[in-house]
């Protein structure tokens, strides 16, 4: 095996695209060089480079193949097309079994030749989300101007060029030269992966992204610990910063005490969004007057000048935040509500003002269902979007809701109202908590259900390829709020109050997201789908309880056999229904000839109590009753011939199986449950 090494050196690549770009490069190179059986792939990405290394065969294997062409009697045009397709001549053909046949022998290809042949086209077709052209002499595009290509096979340059005839001879050519840190701009000759990593390190470039991440994380944590502080965890920011610096140098700066009375969310978002700084906390969990960041250079003064410069920039940022904080509080949140009529929510759905009025109505409907004070729920709903008109949210959209909560508290609103305004967007993601206080629960549910109902009503449902209005996230938010608070809500009933035409579709969509969530949790999502198909239950808590009970039954031998018997009965009925069905009539006890069918009939009569138990949410009793069907079913299928010669017996036995199917279908659609 030989070591293939490839580096693409460019101007700064956006941090968010580096990892995905490296993964795509690795995948495409391995696919293009499949004949060389690449393995041991290693990927590297950073601010100015993507690179990979892999072990490849020294040559592709020689291959013999046979291509069958048209029939010998086929028109001449068909044969000519076959020859063109395979770039062959007629004298290369032979006849076999009435067909023209072409024998082909592909010789072994040396790895260097194959690499030089496939990489130019691969790089010219590389699918960055956005690419640019530069220089005016080449049609080649890349995420940022591409400056150098290193391509080596066991240390020997694989010399290919990106130039095409249309480029008038201009284009990059692969070589063995790379560059280090911007302060070390001299070209560096490398011989392979290990040499490349070592020489880049000597030129102040840490090539491996995980190493940069670890250095930043551990270095910042160490600096903070010396002052008795901790760094606020932010994995997304950590990855981004590691994509901005080639030689991370962790540093800690001071925040002026004058800004420490700003809301902590304002400080943290301002530092993160504008400057890529990490916030710090005291042992008590309070904001600390320090910020952490990573420089891209080792300064001779230990970073003193860099820290001072960043402190100066942060003072300016916090001064702006102070301005918005003071200015916004001069106008009460309630006085801002009217301005929402001037903010478009969505072209077909009107303004934010119209949306707020819908949320107020829905929050009033939901309040008694979740144990909330109706007047407070309506008040919180009225104020929940008012911070969209503030300067702070205009500057930092991430603070929607959060700032409304602060401003509501400043205005003297009831704490439950302020909390509901703050939390009504929650949960925003998997790691975000759900509202717990009833007023907050009512408003958060109203916000999300209105969002779902409104967009479904104008036909804007999510598709497999897109969800521009975040409706899946809204549905998951509804599910989590209900599940984690144990709420007994009739979703269909609620949705009919606001979107009657699409209430069923929205309910089904929410339950489909619940099924997806259960699958991610490793639970029986197929059983939930079966329960919903049978009962169309719009109470999530009850549907989950029924699902758990049936899933528990299916784990037992009785449940497994019951499912198998149901499927056997359903298959028989499906076949016989096509002949002379449907077989859904009344069972005649008088002509039940065999003891086994009499026993099954009696068991079915007793099992109707399972439906009553389900209706009263006595799930243990329901599944215990259903489990008792197992023995008579086993005996029935063992001893009874369903398709008896006597037409009356056959019909009655099919009706007996139909009664079994009908009973179980009221519990769940067992036909959709995986065995």
Domain positions in the chain? 2-59+111-202, 66-106, 209-328, 347-541, 556-672
Task: Strands of 341-479 (E only): list them.
Answer: 344-346, 350-351
Question: Which has the higher per-residue pLDDT, 264 or 429?
Answer: 264
Q: What is the pLDDT of residue 278?
A: 98
**If you average pLDDT over residues 548-558, what whole number do you get?**
92
Of 43-57, 100-114, 207-221, 485-499, least confident by mean pLDDT is 100-114
Sequence-separated (6 or more) residues with CB below 8 Å from residue 589:
598, 601
Q: Is the predicted pLDDT of residue 168 greater than 90, yes or no?
A: no
Q: What is the pLDDT of residue 430?
A: 84
Q: What is the pLDDT of residue 464?
A: 81
Q: Is the predicted pLDDT of residue 169 greater than 60, yes or no?
A: no
Q: Model confidence over 194-208: pLDDT tens digits?
A: 999 999 999 999 999
Q: What is the pLDDT of residue 163?
A: 84
For residue 290, the cross-strand partners are: 254
Distance of alpha carbon 627 from alpha carbon 222, whole angstroms: 60
Sequence-separated (6 or more) residues with CB below 8 Å from residue 225:
none
The pLDDT confidence band at residue 465, using thresholds 50, 70 and 90, is confident
**If you average pLDDT over residues 117-130, what whole number do you get?**
94
**If you average pLDDT over residues 76-103, what whole number do you get?**
89
Is residue 279 a contact partner of residue 226, using CB atoms and an 8 Å limit?
Answer: no
Task: Enter the DSSP assignment of 3.
Answer: E
Sign of the CA dihedral with 360 first, then 366, 368, and 373 last: negative
For 442-463, give the DSSP string.
HHHHHHHHHHHHHHHHTT---B
Q: Is the predicted pLDDT of residue 127 greater than 90, yes or no?
A: yes
Give the closest residue to 119 by CA, choosing from 45, 1, 8.
Answer: 8
Q: Output the average pLDDT for the chain.
A: 93
Question: Which has the higher per-residue pLDDT, 582 or 224?
Answer: 224
- By the 10 Å C-beta count (0-12 exposed, 13-18 middle, 19+ buried), 146 is classed as buried
Q: What is the pTM of this model?
A: 0.81
Distance of alpha carbon 304 from alpha carbon 307, whole angstroms: 5
**If you average pLDDT over residues 17-38, what whole number do you get?**
96
Helix, strand, coil percentages in the chain from 3-state DSSP, rounded to 5: 55, 15, 30
Question: Which has the higher per-residue pLDDT, 590 or 171?
Answer: 590
Distance of alpha carbon 23 from alpha carbon 35, whole angstroms: 20
Using CA atoms, how far residue 216 sits from 243, 252, 277, in Å, is 11, 12, 12
The pLDDT confidence band at residue 455, using thresholds 50, 70 and 90, is very high
Architecture of domain 347-541: Orthogonal Bundle (1.10)
Coil, strand or helix at 385: coil
Q: Is the predicted pLDDT of residue 136 greater than 70, yes or no?
A: no
**If you average pLDDT over residues 547-559, what whole number do you get?**
92
Q: Model confidence over 473-507: pLDDT tens digits?
A: 999 999 999 999 999 999 999 999 889 999 999 99
- How would you label 17-54 residue by residue, b for 16+ Cβ within 10 Å and e otherwise? bbbebbebbbebbbebbebbebeeeebbbbbbbbbbbb
Of 58-67, 630-639, 664-673, least confident by mean pLDDT is 58-67
**If you average pLDDT over residues 578-601, what whole number do you get?**
91
- Terminal Cα distance for the chain, rounded: 47
Query: In terms of DSSP bridges, do strands 177-178 and 188-189 run parallel, antiparallel, or are they unpaired?
Result: antiparallel
Is residue 636 a contact partner of residue 568, using CB atoms and an 8 Å limit?
Answer: no
- Identical fold, 347-541 and 556-672: no
Q: What is the pLDDT of residue 65?
A: 79
The pLDDT confidence band at residue 254, using thresholds 50, 70 and 90, is very high
Per CATH, domain 556-672 is 1.10.730.10: yes
**If you average pLDDT over residues 262-277, what whole number do you get?**
95
Percent of the chain with pLDDT over 90: 82
Task: Enter the DSSP assignment of 13.
Answer: P
CATH number assigned to the domain with residue range 2-59+111-202, chosen from the 4 options 1.10.3470, 3.40.50, 3.30.70, 3.40.190 = 3.30.70
Coil, strand or helix at 66: strand
């Amino acid at each position: 095996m030989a070591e293939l090494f490839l580096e693409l050196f460019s101007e700064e690549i956006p941090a968010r695209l580096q990892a995905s770009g490296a993964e795509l490069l690795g995948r495409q190179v391995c696919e293009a060089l499949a004949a060389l059986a690449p393995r041991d792939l290693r990927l590297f990405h950073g601010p100015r480079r993507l690179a990979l290394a892999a072990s490849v065969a020294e040559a592709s294997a020689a291959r013999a193949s046979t291509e069958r062409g048209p029939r010998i009697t086929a028109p001449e045009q068909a044969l000519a097309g076959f020859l063109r397709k395979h770039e062959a001549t007629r004298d290369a053909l032979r006849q076999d079994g009435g067909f023209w046949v072409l024998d082909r022998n592909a010789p072994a290809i040396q790895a260097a030749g194959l690499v030089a042949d496939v990489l130019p086209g691969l790089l010219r077709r590389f699918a960055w989300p956005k690419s640019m052209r530069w220089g005016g002499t080449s049609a080649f595009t890349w995420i940022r101007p591409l400056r150098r290509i290193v391509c080596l096979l066991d240390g020997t340059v694989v010399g290919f060029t990106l130039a095409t005839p249309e480029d008038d001879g201009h284009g990059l050519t692969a070589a063995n030269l790379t560059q280090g840190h911007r302060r070390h701009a001299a070209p560096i000759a490398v011989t392979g992966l290990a040499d490349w990593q070592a020489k880049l390190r000597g030129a102040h470039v840490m090539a491996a992204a995980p190493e940069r991440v670890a250095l930043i994380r551990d270095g910042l944590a160490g600096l903070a610990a010396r002052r008795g502080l901790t760094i606020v965890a932010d994995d997304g920011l950590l990855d981004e910063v590691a994509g901005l610096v080639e030689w991370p140098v962790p540093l800690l700066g001071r925040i002026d005490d004058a800004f420490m009375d700003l809301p902590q969310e304002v400080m943290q978002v301002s530092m993160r969004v504008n400057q890529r700084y990490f916030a710090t906390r005291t042992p008590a969990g309070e904001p600390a007057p320090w910020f952490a960041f990573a420089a891209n250079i080792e300064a001779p003064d230990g970073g003193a000048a860099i820290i001072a410069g960043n402190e100066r920039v942060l003072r300016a940022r916090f001064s702006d935040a102070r301005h918005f904080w003071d200015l916004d509080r001069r106008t009460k949140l309630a006085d801002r509500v009217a301005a929402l009529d001037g903010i478009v929510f969505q072209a077909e759905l009107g303004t934010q003002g119209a949306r707020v009025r819908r949320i107020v109505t829905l929050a009033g409907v939901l309040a008694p269902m979740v144990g909330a004070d109706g007047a407070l729920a309506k008040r919180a709903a009225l104020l929940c979007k008012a911070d969209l008109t503030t300067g702070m949210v205009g500057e930092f959209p991430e603070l929607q809701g959060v700032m409304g909560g602060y401003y509501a508290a400043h205005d003297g609103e009831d704490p439950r109202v302020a909390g509901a305004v703050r939390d009504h967007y929650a949960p925003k993601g998997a790691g975000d908590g759900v509202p717990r206080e009833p007023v907050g629960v009512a408003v958060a549910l109203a916000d999300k259900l209105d969002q779902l109902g409104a967009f479904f009503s104008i036909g804007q449902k999510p598709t497999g390829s897109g969800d521009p209005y975040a409706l899946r996230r809204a549905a998951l938010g509804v599910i989590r709020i209900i599940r984690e608070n144990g709420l007994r809500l009739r979703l269909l009933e609620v949705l009919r109050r606001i979107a009657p035409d699409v209430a069923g579709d929205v309910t089904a969509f929410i339950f489909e997201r619940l099924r997806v969530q259960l699958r991610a949790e490793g639970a029986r999502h197929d059983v939930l789908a079966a329960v919903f198909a049978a009962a169309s239950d719009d109470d999530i808590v009850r549907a989950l309880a029924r699902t758990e009970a049936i899933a528990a039954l299916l784990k037992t031998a009785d449940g497994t056999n019951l499912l198998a018997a149901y499927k056997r009965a359903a298959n028989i009925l499906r076949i016989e229904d096509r002949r002379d069905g449907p077989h859904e009539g009344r069972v005649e006890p008088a002509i039940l000839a065999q003891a086994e069918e009499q026993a099954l009939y009696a068991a079915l009569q007793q099992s109707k109590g399972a439906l009553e138990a389900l209706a009263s949410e006595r799930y243990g009793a329901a599944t215990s009753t259903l489990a008792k069907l197992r023995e008579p079913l086993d005996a029935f299928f063992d001893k009874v011939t369903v398709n008896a010669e006597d037409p009356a017996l056959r019909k009655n036995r099919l009706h007996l199986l139909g009664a079994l199917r009908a009973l179980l279908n009221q519990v769940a659609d067992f036909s959709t449950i995986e065995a």
